[in-house]
A = this chain, B = another copy of it.
Amino acid sequence: MYQLTARDIRRRNRFGVLQAVYAAVGHSSRQEIARATGLSFATVGNMISELLDVGVLVELGYDAPGIGRPRAQLAINPERGMLVGVDIAETALHFDLFDLAMTVQRSVEIPVDPAATEPADVVALITRGIGELTAADADKVLGVGLSVPGLVEPVGGVSVFSPYWHWHDVPLAQLLEQQLSYPLYLDNPLKASTAAHLWFGAGRDVDDLIVVTLRAGVGIGVVVEGMLYRGVTNSAGEWGHTNLVLDGRECRCGRMGCVEAYVGAPGIVRTLRELAPSSPLIDADDAVTIAAIAAAADRGDAVALEVIDKTGNYLGVTVANLVNLFNPRTIVFGDLVADHLGARLLDVTRRVAARHAMTDPFAAVTLQLSTLPHNPASLGAATFALEGFLADRETFGSIAARRALRTSTP
């Protein structure tokens, strides 16, 4: 049986209260937070006292006088500390430094030399990037989150398998700990992106959502009742390699007919090649081709429109499957493909999904494009560091102990 301890509940409530303050953008009152979270006023008061004590929240004074008691306005204290988000991608590492209000303060980008992708090489790049990023603020960093492609074991920080660099069971966290003294949090881009949407995107309004990431690789993150759903070995959401077409196109994973082979960037380019082998839209860089398809569709180009139509047909069928299986409130589409083909692709997808999904769960779901800024992976990685800080026993445990002591001492 899965156990929830008093500490779990407390941490969960702490997350909820803080998510409500972030969602308010600016400031919020205890009353508004209680309404947004559904928590009792007593619990909210308790959590806020704790967050004020550790300096995560600050009181901004009172709202404009009117009818009723003035309400203390609460806001995130951006100066309480900084969080680092690292997006490790095939060709470049991207580093963002966030203040505690999750505003980007500084960014660094370091290209990856394709000839130097051993773990030691990448560890050196990560260490260098974090050093450049945090130079002036090293003592303010509360934690570092890393989005690591492939299969990741978040607890041990092990890159179990990386599709780009053929890493197997690389103890990445352990290697980094020899160079860095910050708390480290590792997970893959799908999980990171989903955490970003959960805290700062569609998750602010709904508790059950699926985040669909569409770039070269594709995958989903599932949020159930406000929590990231990981499965028993953190592999849940491997939607990209579920079967869409029996004996269909060969996928880069070696299987036939995977979803990714049709709706990932290279799959879409392949659809274009099949329709028009010598199309001028085709570039060596798939991202450029996807952008060219979008621009051509805007001009009414028939081939570009047909590529989007075919892609939406594939996507609609598999999204209908997700609707039937998970019965979520919202499905958010993000990253390269969604950024470029956006509304047009979503229109076809929605129409096809409506036909294939069961009536009732389809009526309950909203399909929408991501509203997050451009890099959900680094924001999500930093969010893991934020969650880690908020779950820190030393910071919050001692507060709780101090309060208990205070209460029990007459």
Binding site for B on A (CB under 8 A): 1-4, 9, 12, 15-16, 19-20, 37-39, 151, 160-161, 207-208, 220, 224-227, 229-239, 241-246, 253, 255, 317-318, 320-322, 324-329, 355-356, 358, 360-361, 364
Contact = CB atoms under 8 A, between A and B. Distances in A.
A20 B231 CA distance: 23
A2 B324 CA distance: 22
Contacts of A327: 230-238
Contact of A361 (B15, B227, B233): B233
Contact of A235 (B151, B235, B360): B360
Contacts of A325: 220, 236-239, 242, 322, 325
Given A9-B9, A320-B243, A364 B2 contact: no
B326 A236 contact: yes
Interface centre among A20, A37, A236, A255 (most CB of B within 10 A): A236
21 contacts: A1-B12, A1-B16, A1-B19, A1-B39, A2-B225, A3-B38, A3-B39, A9-B9, A220-B325, A231-B328, A231-B361, A232-B364, A233-B327, A233-B364, A234-B327, A238-B361, A241-B324, A243-B318, A244-B246, A245-B246, A325-B325
A306 to B, nearest CB: 17
Contacts of A318: 243
Given A4-B12, A232-B329, A242 B324 contact: yes
A236 B244 CA distance: 20
Nearest to A321: B242
A186 to B, nearest CB: 16
Nearest to A316: B243
Contact of A324 (B229, B234, B239): B239
A224 B235 contact: no
Nearest to A240: B324
A355 B244 CA distance: 15
Nearest to A208: B232
A226 B356 contact: no
Contacts of A1: 12, 15-16, 19-20, 37-39, 207, 226
Contacts of A317: 243, 246
A38 B8 CA distance: 15
A361 B321 CA distance: 19
A161 to B, nearest CB: 7
